[in-house]
Structure 1
Amino acid sequence: MGIQFTVLSSGSTGNATIVQNKDATILIDAGLSARRIGELLQERDLTGEQIHGILITHEHSDHIKGLGAVARKYELPIYANEKTWGAMERSIGKLSPEQKQIMQTGDHLTFGSMRIESFGISHDAAEPVGYFFTDGDEKLSLATDLGYVSDKVMQSISGSDVLVLEANHDVEMLRMGRYPWNTKRRILSDIGHLSNDAAGEALSELLTRKTKRTYLAHLSRDHNMMELAKLTVRDAMESRGCFYKDHEFKLCETYYDRPTPWDTISDK
């Protein structure tokens, strides 16, 4: 068994993902209530007792809402960089000293054959990160809540078999939407969220014959739709001469209200 994963929930109402191999089961973010996270785990035949640790991308509530409760209930270590700890510590309540693990940006962890590395991203948080996971030749990368895809991000997530990549909004839907202009400006900025077009542009550079699937994640419920996101990403890729139909590549969905099916990286 190599790497497999399920995106338990994705969006502004809460984010959580499970990545596992034969050696470890890791929760990335805990942005829903502990009870809801337990329900989603159960839907994927998991329990909190099977989790080895929690990785945090940044301190916004849709990524840490249930963090303290889940960590205390299952006595789990939490991994985050120092600035993120400083920004979230008051919000998550009391933990034992051994639960607070510092993983600075660019550091790596190993759990048996699973290696995990963090990389910096651009978002309006203390020190936000994404993560990539490797096991032998297999690579899974998670990059959401980023205003743009920097050269460093491209370097970190290149060579992935599977990507979980943000496609937060349709630019025109956002511009015409009900949000106040200051909020729209923040989302559209380099420290906001990635648009469908920007996701497609990034994928056109990232796609190789090794790339099997990309899960479009963190979609806005007000300013996007999954079918529109897929269409825009495909169009953006094709307009840059990226004809993904030449090999087996799929755009896959994530959901705010249910988990994705288990995806095993080695599956053809």
Structure 2
Amino acid sequence: MFSLTMLGSGSAGNSALVATDHCKILVDGGLSARQLVLRLEQCGVMAEQLDGVLLTHEHGDHICGLDVLCRKFDVPIYCNALTAEAVFPVPHDAVDPLGFAFHAGSGSLGFITDLGYVTKMIVERLRPVQTLVIETNHDEKLLQNDTHRPWPVKQRIQSRHGHLSNAAAAGVIEELLPGKIERVLLGHLSRDCNTPELALKTVRESLAKCGRIDVKVHCATQFEITPQFRIGETVSGAFQPTFENAFFQSAP
């Protein structure tokens, strides 16, 4: 079986378990090492069973638990070259952020967070996926009315190097239609400038407008794991080509 479990997703930490019967990987490790271990155990997975960690980028809310976790349990980290150079210490802006598309057996999964806009190339790479993890970071009105963030921070969040709003994410999903999309998981919600209710409402209304009320929409949260989502059926050896791919290298 090819499955996805979101261990936690939000402004303070992000991590997901992507697994088959023969391979178990984390996408990011932005929770404490203790929380990563505890949440993996809730999924029936021991940390020493992990085959690796894929990094989307080097920001603290995606890597903060990895140094301890990977050293203690000898888990390799896979990322592109620029991210490997920048992982420790953590700079302010991501140097070369990544999204992922996993294809194994009968299932396919797209994974995009922490991006200010979606290019045509990204849309084409995601078009074949059945399950999509996408950030819905903020509600535009809540962000504009937020009194705790200075204007330059708001500008950065809304910029092409910032984060997707609920409406922007809904627009991306619309671009993937009719496509093969069957399930959407919303993630990386701001604690101050969004709510699960707003994010779900925006995306579901967009899908309804397109006549796709059949697409299941879920929202990942910061403090608890999601149910295990069954992505598809796999055969022995799924994901191994990913780790042999020359675009990935172990971070020091």
Partner of 1:126: 95
Partner of 2:212: 244
Structure 1, unaligned runs of 5 or more: 92-122
User: Does residue 246 of structure 2 align to residue 256 of structure 1?
Assistant: no
**Aligned-partner SS, 1:89:** coil
CA contact (8 A) 1:216 1:254 kept: yes
User: Does residue 168 of structure 2 align to residue 198 of structure 1?
Assistant: yes
Partner of 1:37: 36
Give the TM-score of the pair, scaled to structure 2. 0.87
**Aligned-partner SS, 1:197:** helix
Counterparts of 1:205 and 1:90, CA distance in 2: 37
Partner of 2:242: none
Counterparts of 1:229 and 1:15, CA distance in 2: 17
Counterparts of 2:193 and 2:73, CA distance in 1: 36
**Aligned-partner SS, 1:199:** helix
CA contact (8 A) 2:59 2:93 kept: no
Within-5 A mapping of 1:196-235: 196-208=166-178, 210-235=180-205
Counterparts of 2:89 and 2:13, CA distance in 1: 19
Q: How many residues align?
A: 231
Write the deviation string for residues 21-59 of structure 1: whole angstroms up to 9, x where unpaired.
Answer: 122000111111101111111111111011000111111
Partner of 1:113: none
Partner of 1:182: 152
Give the TM-score of the pair, scaled to structure 1. 0.82
Higher relative contact order (CA 8 A, sep 6+): 2
Within-5 A mapping of 1:69-84: 69-84=68-83
Counterparts of 2:65 and 2:183, CA distance in 1: 29
Partner of 1:21: 20
Moved over 2 A (4+): 207-210, 234-239
Write the deviation string for residues 139-197 of structure 1: whole angstroms up to 9, x where unpaired.
Answer: 00110101011111111111111000111100010011021111100000010000000
Give me the identity figure in percent.
42
Question: What is the Cα-based RMSD across aligned positions, in Å?
Answer: 1.6
